[in-house]
Amino acid sequence: MPNPQQFPHGGASLAYRFGAGAGPLVVFLPGYMSDMTGSKAVAVSDHARRQQRARLRLDYAGCGASGGDFLDGSIGRWTGDVLALINHVWPQGKVVLVGSSMGGWIALLAGLKLDDRLAGVVGIAAAPDFTTWGLKIGEIDRHHLATDGFFTRPSGYAAQPYRYSRALIADAPAHLLLDGLIGISAPVRLLHGQRDDAVPWRLALDIAARLHSKDVQVRLIKDGDHRLSRDADIAVLLRTIEELV
């Protein structure tokens, strides 16, 4: 496969793959410390290509094939990356955002900014506000933030521990969503595995309750884990996207 395309934004070169086609544009947003080469990202893009639909997958600044330092990344910056790339490749027209884990948080934030251009959101184990409920930051962590600029946590989804930076922790409070109404009016579908050991499946119900949209569905997969990347899980994901496009 040829190298991804590059787009300069915010002092970094953002890597992305865009395919032209009919609207709405289908955009896949990866999770934390993930990138556009993951199985769900590729499956969504390939499905859209077969349907002759416009599609976009990308790496946030500091991630995957994009330039920049990962430790400079934050929810606000990565949301800005997404919006800049959407406006670059698809300056007009409707957009469906598909976000996995942290990508679900960014999908909701980007969807708010897109306003009436948003055709729908699909969250896969969406994890808005994970810096609040998912990270219990202790004194040792604060020491590392002050001295090293980050602290680490073991991860079952990568060989190396996840790093959580000073920039991420400082920026996150400005982008919290679960303390009020989420003003998205477009259709939203939330997929969540009930064996998810990273993001509690009941969070999907909380998100649904806070969305302004009246077209919201939560779909629980009883034996599904956090990744939801089995063939059967991906089949559910693709059918769900088809409903919105």
Instruction: Please state the domain extents for the chain.
Output: 5-135+176-244
Q: Give pLDDT, residue 193.
A: 98
203: enclosing H helix or E strand: helix 202-210
Burial profile 206-242: b = 16 or more Cβ within 10 angstroms, e = fewer: ebbebbebeebebeebeebbbbbbeeebbebbbebbe
Q: Give pLDDT, residue 155.
A: 81
Q: Give pLDDT, residue 158.
A: 73
If we measure between CA atoms, which residue out of 52, 61, 48, 49 comes closest to residue 13?
A: 61
Q: Give pLDDT, residue 1.
A: 74
How far is Cα 216 from Cα 238, in angstroms, rounded to an integer? Answer: 17
Helix, strand or coil, per DSSP, at residue 82: helix
* Residues marked as catalytic: 101, 196, 226
Q: How far apart are the first and last CA of the chain?
A: 27
Mean pLDDT by 10-residue block, N- to C-terminus, for the chain (245 residues)?
93 97 98 96 98 98 97 98 98 97 98 98 98 95 96 84 96 98 98 97 98 98 97 98 95
Q: What is the CATH number of domain 5-135+176-244?
A: 3.40.50.1820
